[in-house]
A and B are shown apart, each in its own frame.
Chain A
Amino acid sequence: GESVGLHLPTLSVQEGDNSIINCAYSNSASDYFIWYKQESGKGPQFIIDIRSNMDKRQGQRVTVLLNKTVKHLSLQIAATQPGDSAVYFCAENKAAGNKLTFGGGTRVLVKP
């Protein structure tokens, strides 16, 4: 069945270090992936997306890597800041549809 899952429920990082959050997906028909950030009491906030015809995409301080061979997605945050503390979700979609399937979430805690 379809599933998107995360390996690490909590990630503690020192301020200024890089963070890597991982996500596995099982639906090989998925061709669009999104990372969302959710702060306490707020809705998911779009960070970055990637389509299956790419294996890497960079944004401001964030990079998403897609490995379709092993159905793995990662989010790298450079120079992690206190404001990066949140729960991060990966989500997958098929381009012909509009249903996002979310993973379980990873909590990132940034230590000063």
Chain B
Amino acid sequence: EPEVTQTPSHQVTQMGQEVILRCVPISNHLYFYWYRQILGQKVEFLVSFYNNEISEKSEIFDDQFSVERPDGSNFTLKIRSTKLEDSAMYFCASSPREGTEAFFGQGTRLTVV
């Protein structure tokens, strides 16, 4: 069964460093997303991406965040200068059409120290 894959599963970084979280969405999906989940809290929307551009973003997704689809398979989230409060699980998701269920990856646990 096709699935969304994310790497790495765990990333530890020092405050102020840049991190890139990587995702391979399901191959025939057209819509891609990043969500995050701070420990013990609910899943929060960060950004949606379609047709090589951001279609919607939340207030969390400030200038420190960027997304890219560098080739036909990868979808990345970059945090330019990490802060302690960026520590969370980051989930990539994809969906085949607008307004349908999103399929989530297993997540990357980001720890900023």
A positions within 8 Å CB-CB of B: 32, 34, 36, 41-46, 49, 89, 91, 93-105
Q: How would you classify the secondary structure of chain A's contact residues: helix, strand, loop or mixed?
A: loop
Interchain Cβ contacts under 8 Å between A and B, 7 examples = A36-B104, A42-B106, A44-B104, A49-B101, A93-B99, A99-B58, A100-B35
B positions within 8 Å CB-CB of A: 4, 31, 33, 35, 41-45, 48, 50, 55-56, 58, 91, 93, 95, 98-107
A95 touches B99 (CB 8 A): yes
A98 touches B56 (CB 8 A): yes
| Contact status of A98 and B98, CB under 8 A, knowing A43-B91, A104-B42, A105-B42 | yes
A99 touches B56 (CB 8 A): yes
A97 touches B91 (CB 8 A): no
**Alpha-carbon distance between A41 and B44 when the two chains are bound, in angstroms:** 16
| Contact status of A98 and B101, CB under 8 A, knowing A89-B43, A104-B42 | no
Q: Which chain B residue lies CB-closest to A5?
A: B42
**Residue of A41, A44, A94, A101 touching B45 (CB-CB under 8 A):** A101
- A-B interface, 6 closest residue pairs, ranked by CB to CB distance from nearest: A43-B104, A95-B99, A102-B43, A98-B48, A44-B104, A102-B42
Residues of A within 8 Å of B42, CB to CB, are: 89, 102-105
Residues of B within 8 Å of A46, CB to CB, are: 101-103
> How many Å from the CB of B71 to the closest CB on chain A?
22
